[in-house]
Every structure is written in structure tokens, then in C-alpha cells.
Amino acid sequence: MTWYELWLFLHVTAAIVWIGGAATIQVFGVRTKRAADPAKTVFFARNVSWTIMNVFLPAALLVFVSGVGLTVNRDWDWGEPFIVFGLVAGIAVSLVAFGFLGKALGAAGARLEAEGPSPALGLRIRNLVWLSRVLLAVLLAIVFMMTVKLGT
């Protein structure tokens, strides 16, 4: 096994964990909303918050580190469009997901548990779920750019 193959394996595996997990959470989000049960919504919000910080954050860090390893190992130029897009979009998604979304979902779940359902809190949770869908779409755009390497 070469260093390139190792970096590629780590990069793809970490991306699968991060993006596949984010897609799966969307399915659970739809099912939770349809259940219309505040207790299930609390459980969902708290578990998504935990997953973002304890599963997706380490996976995102591994995506970044292995991406650097791939770039250095292959002598790719840091100005390649797919690398620039991946870095900029990946950092943007990470800042929003790990700096805001994870904590906000956890806080919304705790508030729902303490105060019970309200229209304002329901709207807050729906908005956070929509934000997570936008972040997933950006992650999929990164995968597209990494796969087809537009501009190279």
C-alpha cells in the first residue's frame, strides 16, 4: 500500500461517515417530525447534537488531514479549483455545523424538554433542520467537485 492509497482510503472513509451520517439524520428528522411527539423530538435533537460534535467533527478533521496528505503526496497545486472549492466550502460547512448547529440543536432539545412545545420553538427546530439540509447539499457539491475535478 502506498501513502497515496492510505490517504485516499482515510479521506473517502471519513467523508462517507460524515456525509452518509448527515443524510441518514435527514431521514430520521422526517420520521421524527411525522411522529409529532415532543419526547421524540427532544431525543432527536439531543442525539443529533451529540453526533455532530462526537462523530462528524472527528470525521471532518480526518477529511481535512487526509486531503492535505493527498494533495502533498500527489503534488497537486493548492490552486486547483476542486481543492480550493473543497477547502472553502468544507471550512464554511464546518464553522456552521460545529460552531453553531450542533449546539443550537442541543439547546433547542433541552428547551423543548423544559418548556414543552411552542410554535416559536417548533419554528426554531424546523429552521435548524433546514440549515442542516443546506449544509448537506454543500457537502454533496464538494463530493461532486472532488469526483469530476472541474477546472483541471
Q: Could you give the number of structural domains in the chain?
A: 1
pLDDT exceeds 90 at position 75: no
SS3 assignment, position 59? helix
C-alpha distance from residue 99 to each of 17, 115, 123, 136, 148 (Å) = 19, 25, 21, 16, 30
Considering the entire predicted model, what is its pTM?
0.92
Give per-residue burial for 68-94: e unless 16+ CB within 10 Å, then b: ebbbebeeeeeebebbebbbebbeebb
pLDDT tens digits for range 9-57:
999 999 999 999 999 999 999 999 999 999 999 999 999 999 999 999 9
**Grid cell digits, residue 30:** 422526517
Q: What distance in Å separates the CA atoms of residue 148 and residue 45, rounded to the nearest whole number? A: 35
pLDDT exceeds 90 at position 151: no
What is the mean pLDDT of the segment spanning 65-82? 94
Q: What distance in Å separates the CA atoms of residue 19 and residue 7, rounded to the nearest whole number? A: 18
Domain boundaries, position 58: 3-148
